[in-house]
Structure 1
Amino acid sequence: MTEKRKAHIISHSHWDREWYLPFEKHRFYLVKLMDKVLDMFASNTGFNSFHLDGQTILLEDYLAIRPHRKEELKKYIKESRIHIGPWYVLQDAFLTSSEANIRNLLYGLQDAKEYGQVSKIGYFPDTFGIYGQAPQLLKQAGINAATFGRGVKPTGFNNTVSDAVNFESPFSELKWESPDGSSVLGILFANWYSNGNEIPTEPSEAEAFWQQKLKDAEKYASTNHLLFMNGCDHQPVQVDIPEALQMANELYPDVEFVHSNFDEYVQELQMSLPEKLQTIKGELRNQRTDGWSTLVNTASARIYLKQMNQVCQTLLEKVAEPLSVFAHLLGGEYPRDYLRYSWKLMMENHPHDSICGCSVDEVHEEMVTRFKKVQQTVEMIVSEKTEHIATEIDTSEAGLTKGDIPLVVFNTSGNKRDMVIEKVVEIEKVYFSNMHFSEIRDHLMAKEVPNFTLINSKKDVIPHTVKDMGVHFGYELPDQDFRQPYFARKIKVIFSAEQLPQLGYQTYFLTESQETDRGGSLLTNERTLENQYVQVLIHDNGSYTLKDKKTGHSYDRLGIYENTSDIGNEYMFKKPASEVPLTTEKLGAEIRTIEDSSIRSCIEIKHVWEVPQEAGQTFEEEKNNLVWHPDRNAARSNETTILEMVTHLTLETNARGPKVKVTINNQSKDHRLRVLFPTNLKTDHHYADSIFEVVKRPNHPEIEWENPSFDHHQQAFVSVSDEQVGLTIANKGLNEYEILEKDTTIAVTILRSVSELGDWGYFPTPGAQCLGENHVEFMLIPHQESVIDSEAYKIAYDFQIPDVTVQTDIHQGSVPLSGEFVSWGGDKSSFSSLKLAEEKDDIMVRFFNPSGTKSLLSVQSKKAHNYYQSNIIEESIRNLGEKASSQTVNPYEIFTIGISTGEGGR
């Protein structure tokens, strides 16, 4: 440690691309900022350095308006004056998938290559909590330090307790360690990332400024290197920084003030650190605070955005990429450019103020359009790749006739899987070119739908149901010919596809038959669903009892809905302390069977619920007066409205639990709706899916916690067990839950209606009320032991992944009726992704170990020339030879295997 203090001043502007203004209005100010920065560098004013907020997308945003200034940008980046990366966007950490967090880093580092330099700092300035595996991801990317402003407990260096309540967190340097043991230097913005903002140049003002700022920084620093962030949200660049630092050096000769950057600051800091630093392990979630500013309830703001994100992420990483690898191995082109376009477009929705749903309505309207564009693009990729694979399958191998209809079912989940397939099939079509379109419909409807038998590739008869769908218009867009419209007679086929290959496909055939379907049922009576694994008994109030037939354990009163007011905002939930929640426990429900077969049965549960229409008038006064949400006390209005909810509870053959879809016709404002799952299990902790981790969390907060709510983030599931039995609730885009003390209840938020953005002013957001029709999906999975030991987590992951089934014809091909393109085995490993590398045609397959014990992993692929272990940014770190068998994956390790096919580069 040097005797003389050194103040590192880093000029920056934290740039939320969209927030209290929509994107284009914020970009208008970004262009002004960047113009000024470039002009200052060009004029040699002594302005040395500018940190571009850790996200390379700002380069794209700027150059879309100022393309002629790209070479200037390159010049100053190569000269290490403008510092970029390593991220593509400053994403929300908990609301974006594991793979999305990797791709964000991968694409940011790739973009930075074009400019010749990258800032190797894990930059999380304002992230709303950070997942525990972040140090492991950073280390694998060659990044050894991270900066952040939120998430650690309020104790100072050497465990001293802060007496300064105005600080986000009161210490600066620490060791941040992932569950696998990987660690990075953590640098906390103890006085926030604006502690060096707007530095005075006038002597008396500068003296007072630095007297306080130096004191504040020294209080939480472990060395004489003091960090001052010269900027804030959308802050214009301070043009007189050279003069301000000259004045500071004159006023404080015992301090060296330098216009610095993170590379220089971290390098000098690391040489001065004490031998021991406080170690923070795992997640950074503000658990040792009063709980009012965790921003966790952004996980339930505008749930429709989270659901669209889940669909797009899943389609990209668990469907389109694996299918594209399959097609590539059969000679098809890998759509690298389209996949990159789709990932980047989706990640435009991943900054915290975007995916968290905590912006003005215009921002989120634009997000919906982006998500739709991603989904449209990915669906085209999936369609093209499945068609290519289907044409390579030798469907003539089955020895059937031209009139039989092959259906190819793909499994891209990474696990052997049982699935109920629902596929609309064209049994006959007539092109407009062959008959006048006015005659085709009657021609097709006059024909009887034949009886069909469904068989697999071994010619085993598969139970199925068929529904006549009538005649529908369609069209084809041939590669060489003009569009071809037609009418087609369609049926819907429902069947169970069992033990599908891990990463491959299975072919089934519809053949005409004289036999008729023998029917069957999963209903033992009008209120009870049952298969080989579970029994579900539905009660008069619409709740249900779930029995695990393997353990004999039952869970009662599941599926009761809870409704409370919400007088918080897009960031935080709040209800008056005296308010008693409303529930459907004593509300009768209309119950009827809407589907019944041996493959799938469904019971509809309808609630017509009278609830308060909105918050009372006091709430408007509180918002207009900028009353902070913990201090609000507005009651609900006396006027009521109807909240109608239709629940479809479905049990499939071979399913480990029921699947539930709820349609909510929301006409109420300022409220929160949750579904409750009392487990009655005795435990002080639970598990939740997070980023490359099934994280263990306490059921009760620390003693500092004052917020009556103790909500958490989840990805695919939350689980409670007493290590003997357990209940896991899987979901699609429902990212918020709470474990209630009463009956150890899992409470999952399915709707939150709020009226304002919150934060530093009053920004009305009527769109955040989510009025109208809302849809949610979840699945209940009872099991033995914990969610990891029982492998229930794999069922929960599979629940998120849709089936992909394509209709083809009888033809010759190069591959058999069933096959795996990549196979693997691992007792505790979990599949994450399968793709081609970004800069070569090697196959990259990624796993992670969610358990605390070592796992043995084996991977095989046809056409493999060589295997190697890779890091997350697709660099080879260890050659594995011609076989990737019995690789040891350490506890909680993220493990990527590269497979060279010997086909060269792109």
Structure 2
Amino acid sequence: MKTVHLVQHTHWDREWYFTENDSKAVLYYFMDDLLQRLEDDNTLGPFVLDGQTVVIEDYLSVAPQQETRLRQLIEQGRIVIGPWYTQSDFLVVGAESITRNLLLGQADCQRFGDAMPVGYVPDSFGQSAQLPMFLQQFAIDHAVIWRGWSEHNVPFSEFSWQAADGSKVTTAVLPWGYGCAKWLPDSPSACLTALQPILEKQTRFSLTGNVLLPNGNDQSPFEYRVPQLLDQLNQQQDEYRFVRSSFSQFFQSLESTNVTLPIYQGELISPKYMRIHRGIFSTRVDIKQLNARLEQTLSQHLEPLLALNWRLGLPYPQHAVDNIWREAMKSHAHDSIGGCNSDRVNAMVKNRLESGLEMAQQLIDLNMKMLAEGISAQLDGKKIIIFNARPQISAGLVEVTIYTPEQDFRVVDGEGNECRWQIVEEGRQDMSIIVQELSNSTETTWYRKCRLLLEVADIPACGYQTLYLQEGVRAECDQQVESVVKLENPWLLLEANKQGILTLTDKRNQQTYHHVLQLVDGGDAGDNYNYSPPFNDWLINSDDFLTSVTGQQGVLQSSLTLNWQMAVPEDLAARNARRANGELDVTMTITLAHTNTWLDVAISVNNTVRDHRLQVLLPTNVQQHIHFADQPFGLIERQNMPPEMAVWQDEQWTEAPVALYPMQSQVMMYDEKRGLCVLTEGLREYQIPENQQDVMAVTLLRSVGWLGQANMPYRPGRASGMVLPSPDSQIQGMHHFKLSLLAMNNGADSTFWRDVERVRGNLHAWLATGWSRFRTNPHGRVFPPHFSILSWDTELHFSTLKKAQHSDALVVRAWNPTARTLARGSITTNGEVAAATLAETTLQTDRHQESVPTCAPATCVINFGGEKTC
């Protein structure tokens, strides 16, 4: 006899085709009913509140007077909460976001009671291979998931899931989803009739006699009559024994069987039984870029800067930072960040991210102003603060924008030595927009506005250095710019022919890459969930549409700018008719710094056409069947051609398992002789085309006009979501993209990974003009002209530096991006260092001896004993 564990729950989408305002109104009445039913009948419960504490936050925002009632039921274990703050996507959002989601979610749970010790992920569009690692770092041993699993991954719905670093969690799959047993009839006989086919499907892949039966659905009311039917169901048949249960009770029963579970390692993105919606990785690329920018700004600029200033005695606005993270996480749910929403909701998602950036940038400006204010000038001139977030001494190129009335100026270091710089862009600036005192002036004050590329060296680790802008003094460094037709330095050569076709030569090993960075535009007959090619697509590349090529060489870098006017169809109907009645204006600027081993690429697209997808191609001529991409805190190996493509139609999969993949920012294909790696800013999708297995195609944008559609080539059958027009998802207008291209001359060796970290960079420059939109009183503290909190001798890649969540300590985190174990390395600081988990709990280990496995983070907590530096 099989034991059926009935778990009652709701799945609560905060927004989708409806807004969060709609959701809160429904939540008010849902929770009112739930609380009353549980209070009236002590036998009811436990009830799972979707594993996300934002539901509590939303409810109490509209019913604050109900907190005591809610808290009592949580403390009694009859309402089960957490461990997440929101039900996040795990393939598109960043590693720090996932970490903070659990960190803040568990903090919420501690305020109300205990967190559910289960990594419940009912609806994420695919599962990251890193999920077991994240859960184990927060002492969570179990996971319940839905989408992404099939027997092609592991033959049973219960298994031990292992991350690359060795972390394991016991995992149970809901093979037919969290809503498979929704809306059960009140009559025992009718209920049993309804359950028979459901249970037959639920038990099909079960390894033991314990079966999960989730009773609930999207925003569905509590089915309070179902539990009382269980005794009668047990009396009417002897195949199943029905019990009121929870996910934790299910795992206890599973473990009591002493059955050895199969071990699975890897991601779960199989769409055999449930759609994972390959296409959300590039839907609404404007939202993806905003989110990536916010994540980077928070974890690698604002938080490290606040940590620095906190050590210098300035306040750390913890609650303000947490609020930015929380608002960002409200945009990280699978639908929200996926962009598969109504236009109104996508506008709200975008607004939250823009608001977070606005707040973060204001905090950065105020803290840079306070930092500069405390530094006593060593020389004449305006102070330029170079801030280095990384825990290693850094050098390189950093951008800074200056406003000056003078034609001549120079930049010097603290010893008076002149720094080299190059003007990247120049214009005029109305200063009344910037200087508050000039805003009411009757005359316009115009200054030169120069965006400079500045060469700096020896910037202290997790610290700053002070330079000086001296105006009215002629610079000694040569600012002459020469015209060029190619880019070249000691490592790379890039040449363009008359059509604008680019050839890259790696001078280190004489390997040549032809036709790099070609643009290809094709049709998109899909929706917000899925890219889908038209049944007879018409691909148009950039080769025949070049209008100009210009190049220039400066003191620090050289650049080529290519302009195309691509004749393309204006919509799907025109593409089907082979009419090129629209135009895409595209500008690509490729930059090669004289000291860098990579190309920086900026692409601007005026998107005036619809129903299409634009990609940039990177042919590698590498004859391998695998490639690599980054994932949260790690690297993953993937097949160029998924073997399931041979069987998906015969097995009637819900979606084609095409080689359309997510990334955090990096994808690479290489062998022992050659290879290419691309690093992007906010572009989350790439493809290995079926007919070009040596090509990496990075999606720049896709334009579609529907939330959901039916019967697409890559996704046959019903429409996903709602058949609802979403014209804003055509994302008309100007779009700007950035990526960097690295040639690989010796595989993924340590030199390559150092270059990858250099590409990502963490140098920030700020000019202390004395102007400010907002006045503040002086803080009265004095800071040194240069300062460092700590240095970390490690090959690990930097993730964040922040104040600890619940103590007066600092947290510094790095991660191992390579496929091999790396030494943790030693930290030099005047505080006491202890290794810790992502949950910021101390580990009992010697940090100087411990190594860091592949795809693993290394977190250290530093306690300074309560003393500030200044």
Query: What TM-score does the superposition give when structure 1 sets the normalisation length?
Result: 0.87
Superposed CA offset, 1:852-883 (max 9, x none): 4332223435431x111111111112265xxx
Which piece of structure 1 moves more, 579-588 or 81-90? 579-588
d(CA) in 2 for partners of 1:483, 1:252:
84
Counterpart for residue 607 of structure 1: 564
Superposed CA offset, 1:682-708 (max 9, x none): 222211111111212221211445548
d(CA) in 2 for partners of 1:363, 1:174:
37
Give 1:834's aligned amino acid.
Answer: L
Give 1:381's aligned amino acid.
Answer: L
Q: Give the drift of 1:74.
A: 0.3
Which piece of structure 1 moves more, 30-39 or 113-122? 30-39
User: Of the candidates 829, 833, 858, which is equivalent to residue 895 of structure 1?
Assistant: 858
The answer as to 2:13 corresponding to 1:31 is no
Q: Give the drift of 1:653.
A: 3.2
Counterpart for residue 868 of structure 1: 834
The 1:100/1:10 distance shift into structure 2, 3 A limit, reads same
Answer whether contact 2:493 2:507 (CA < 8 A) is retained.
Answer: yes
The answer as to 2:755 corresponding to 1:791 is no
Which piece of structure 1 moves more, 417-426 or 305-314? 417-426
Q: Give the drift of 1:500.
A: 3.3
Answer whether contact 1:128 1:352 (CA < 8 A) is retained.
Answer: yes
Counterpart for residue 454 of structure 1: 411
1:111-510 equivalent positions in 2, closer than 5 A: 111-155=108-152, 159=155, 171-253=156-238, 255-274=240-259, 276-286=260-270, 289=272, 293-396=275-378, 400-401=379-380, 404-427=381-404, 449=406, 451-465=408-422, 469=428, 472-474=431-433, 489-492=447-450, 493-510=452-469
1:678-717 equivalent positions in 2, closer than 5 A: 678-705=619-646, 706=648, 707=656, 709-717=658-666
Superposed CA offset, 1:192-214 (max 9, x none): 21222222232432232233233
Which piece of structure 1 moves more, 772-781 or 465-474? 465-474
The 1:483/1:874 distance shift into structure 2, 3 A limit, reads farther
d(CA) in 1 for partners of 2:473, 2:370:
33
Q: Give the drift of 1:555.
A: 1.6
Give 1:868's aligned amino acid.
Answer: A
Answer whether contact 1:390 1:808 (CA < 8 A) is retained.
Answer: no
The 1:656/1:575 distance shift into structure 2, 3 A limit, reads same
Which piece of structure 1 moves more, 66-75 or 785-794? 785-794
Give 3-state SS (helix, strand or coil) of 1:529's partner.
strand
Q: Give the drift of 1:369.
A: 1.2
d(CA) in 1 for partners of 2:471, 2:186:
87
The 1:794/1:474 distance shift into structure 2, 3 A limit, reads same
Q: Give the drift of 1:234.
A: 2.0
Counterpart for residue 703 of structure 2: 753
Give 1:845's aligned amino acid.
Answer: V
Answer whether contact 1:94 1:690 (CA < 8 A) is retained.
Answer: yes
d(CA) in 1 for partners of 2:666, 2:407:
43
Q: Give the drift of 1:791.
A: 3.2
The answer as to 2:585 corresponding to 1:644 is yes
Superposed CA offset, 1:474-526 (max 9, x none): 56689xxx999995745524322245333222222233576455536786x53
d(CA) in 1 for partners of 2:33, 2:473:
79
Give 2:455's aligned amino acid.
Answer: S
Q: Give the drift of 1:12.
A: 1.0
Answer whether contact 2:568 2:581 (CA < 8 A) is retained.
Answer: yes
Counterpart for residue 46 of structure 1: 43
Superposed CA offset, 1:116-136 (max 9, x none): 121011111111112112111
Give 3-state SS (helix, strand or coil) of 1:892's partner.
coil
Superposed CA offset, 1:274-295 (max 9, x none): 1x222210211218x49x9431
Give 2:786's aligned amino acid.
Answer: S
Answer whether contact 2:663 2:685 (CA < 8 A) is retained.
Answer: yes
Counterpart for residue 605 of structure 2: 664
Superposed CA offset, 1:721-745 (max 9, x none): 1133321111111100012353711
d(CA) in 1 for partners of 2:627, 2:514:
19
Q: Give the drift of 1:635.
A: 3.1
CA RMSD of aligned residues (A): 2.9
d(CA) in 2 for partners of 1:800, 1:511:
26
User: Of the candidates 837, 840, 846, which is equivalent to residue 804 of structure 2?
Assistant: 837
Answer whether contact 1:553 1:725 (CA < 8 A) is retained.
Answer: yes
Which piece of structure 1 moves more, 494-503 or 7-16? 494-503
The 1:117/1:516 distance shift into structure 2, 3 A limit, reads closer
Answer whether contact 1:717 1:796 (CA < 8 A) is retained.
Answer: no
Answer whether contact 1:753 1:768 (CA < 8 A) is retained.
Answer: yes
d(CA) in 2 for partners of 1:752, 1:416:
40
5+ residue gaps, structure 2? 649-655, 709-719, 771-777
User: Of the candidates 832, 853, 858, which is equivalent to residue 825 of structure 2?
Assistant: 858
Q: Give the drift of 1:263.
A: 2.0
Counterpart for residue 623 of structure 1: none
d(CA) in 2 for partners of 1:146, 1:678:
39
Which piece of structure 1 moves more, 108-117 or 221-230? 221-230
Counterpart for residue 775 of structure 2: none
Which piece of structure 1 moves more, 675-684 or 210-219? 210-219
Q: Give the drift of 1:780.
A: 1.1
Q: Give the drift of 1:370.
A: 0.7
Counterpart for residue 440 of structure 1: none
Give 3-state SS (helix, strand or coil) of 2:643's partner.
coil
Give 3-state SS (helix, strand or coil) of 2:688's partner.
strand
Which piece of structure 1 moves more, 242-251 or 5-14? 242-251
d(CA) in 2 for partners of 1:644, 1:800:
30
d(CA) in 2 for partners of 1:470, 1:794:
36
Give 3-state SS (helix, strand or coil) of 1:73's partner.
helix
Counterpart for residue 540 of structure 1: 498
Answer whether contact 2:162 2:263 (CA < 8 A) is retained.
Answer: yes
Give 1:151's aligned amino acid.
Answer: G
